[in-house]
Amino acid sequence: MTTDKHPAYTKAIRWIVGRKVLHRYNQYLNNRMEQNHRPIKQRYYPMLGFAKFESASRFCNAFDELRNYLRVPALDGQHVSASSRREIFTDKWSTLMTELSA
């Protein structure tokens, strides 16, 4: 069982589950919000280097558009294999590079 480092959890787990369960401490492992905002943090930290908001906004718009273009969506909830994703990505990337070089 994994919890954050709140001291009351140890006694509660021993009282309810017993001593046979392994109790791990990790502050952010179970926190869904902490896990879900990673993409935001990945975009936020590089933005600190921009001098103006307008330039950061232009970059974010272009980055999001490129990211959505290169993303391989799953059709009808079905899994797309890694080799298929790689092939689709390579095709999209080569198309994008030829359009940009023209």
Q: Using one digit for the tens of pLDDT, what is the confidence trace for 2-43?
A: 676 677 777 787 788 887 777 776 666 656 655 666 677 776
pTM of the model: 0.47
Q: Locate 45 and state its tokens.
A: 């930290």
Q: Does residue 101 surpass a pLDDT of 60? A: yes
Q: How many CB atoms lie within 10 A of CB 13?
A: 16
pLDDT digits (tens, 9 = 90+) for 60-80: 888 889 988 998 887 777 888
Q: In the 8-state DSSP scheme, what is residue 73? A: P
- Section 36-59 average pLDDT: 77
Q: Which pLDDT score is estimated for 28?
A: 63
Structure token pair of residue 23: 């109790």
